[in-house]
Amino acid sequence: MIVLFFVITVLLFFIGVPLGITIGLSSMIYILLTDITPMIIIQRLFTGIDVSALMAIPFFILAGNLMLTGGLAQRILDLANSIIGRSTGGLAMVTILGCMFFAAISGSSIATAAALGTIMIPAMVDKGYDRDFATSVVSTASPMGVIIPPSITLIIYGSLSGSSISDLYSAGIPAGVIVGGALLIAVYLMSRKRKYKGNKEPFTWKEFGKALFRSLWALGTPVILIGGVFSGFFTPTESGVAAVVYAVLVGMFIYRELKGKHLASIFFDSAKTTATIMFIITNAALFAYVLAYENIPSRLVSGFLSVSDNPVVLLLIINLILLFFGMFMDTIAILVIVVPMFLPIINTLGIDPVLFGIIVVVNTAIGMCTPPFGGTLLVSANTGNVPLIKASSQSAYPIFALIAALLIITYIPILVMFPVW
């Protein structure tokens, strides 16, 4: 029966059925064909989104859309362009830096992929970049939204493991820098090979100063949000509300690009995006239930962990398991399944749960841009109007860079844990 379950899932995906429907429908068919009571479908669909930490999602999505329309995101991109836009592959690297900044505002990789993809993919194509390449840059850079705080994924991990959200945020900042640096190197090398040139205008401190001054209010957003959480002034969920208020005030009264006529469409688009994400999350919970019912994760874990009891080897095996899960499962589903299984092992090995949280989150970030079910890969391919196979093939080298960053974080933990230890 489990073979039929996987066959249906893969078949639905390859005929173009949306991800949320694919995993939900295949799970429902499996349950209806077994002796599981059908009522479990309703229960799991509701409990899948009955998580208080998920309340932050609609606020961060709304804040991201408000900042995009209000000019905050564009000014961040302009600042990044003034810093690095003249180098080889400059616009692609501006996209990566923009994703890093915007991730710190939106807290969502999907929102980052949608917002930055809409702006940067057409901009790169206009400058002579291949559309497949431009799409792959957005696809692989936008997952940093789950690493750099404020991160919805870090919040969920903290609630599952009992780890400090503040400590997770502290470690998430250097982890995001490492991942971003690895991507910058990979994209630079690819751009040099493809001869993608940067802007021709020479660097001037005057232009940089103007870009910095124009972006000060936009740059204040992550400072306020992260600083508010660290100081205990508000909770991570409340920081989402603060982001919405701040975006409205800055967009309307400082930059004056956000108008009252924009609000209806912004709220509507944010509601649609939120509904889509919640629909995927709730169906992922049902999908995760089927996997857990068949003991698929436990079988895989037991098989891998029987190989060795060496911490170095075990961490490598855990990373392989997480990377494999990330190819097929939603981030939330991975957290719900993996964290309870691996935490006892991590504690036995004496590994800091905060470090393990960063490792898990980086793995899920990589999973978001890997086929066949990568969320940012799907969003970016749709935004860039590029076939999924082409977008996936162009993402190979950046994904290798992400994996290299993952190994650095795993085996040189001081690089990310120094703010906590």
Intervals of the chain under pLDDT 50: none
38 assigned to some structural domain: no
Residues with Cβ < 8 Å from 263, sequence gap 6 or more? none
20 assigned to some structural domain: no
Largest CA distance in the chain: 71
pLDDT score recorded for residue 298: 67
Give the residue among 84, 34, 25 at the shortest CA–CA distance from 280.
Answer: 25
pLDDT score recorded for residue 108: 66
Give the residue among 315, 308, 313 at the shortest CA–CA distance from 356.
Answer: 315
34 assigned to some structural domain: no
330 assigned to some structural domain: yes
pLDDT in tens, 142-201: 888 788 887 778 877 887 787 888 888 889 989 989 998 999 999 889 888 888 876 666
Give the residue among 339, 394, 404 at the shortest CA–CA distance from 366.
Answer: 404
412 assigned to some structural domain: yes
pTM for this prediction: 0.76
1 assigned to some structural domain: no
> Which residues form the domain of 316?
46-417
pLDDT score recorded for residue 376: 81
Give the residue among 106, 132, 96, 82 at the shortest CA–CA distance from 273.
Answer: 106
What distance in Å separates the CA atoms of residue 269 and residue 251, rounded to the nearest whole number?
17
**What does residue 372 show for φ and ψ, rounded to 5 degrees?**
-95, -10
pLDDT score recorded for residue 304: 62
Residues with Cβ < 8 Å from 251, sequence gap 6 or more? 66, 67, 69, 70, 71, 72, 257, 258
Give the residue among 55, 67, 149, 151 at the shortest CA–CA distance from 116.
Answer: 67
pLDDT in tens, 69-104: 887 777 877 777 777 766 777 788 888 888 877 766
Question: Which residue, chain included where needed, has tokens 């994904």?
Answer: 399
26 assigned to some structural domain: no
**What does residue 350 show for φ and ψ, rounded to 5 degrees?**
80, 20
User: How many domains is the chain built from?
Assistant: 1
pLDDT score recorded for residue 412: 93
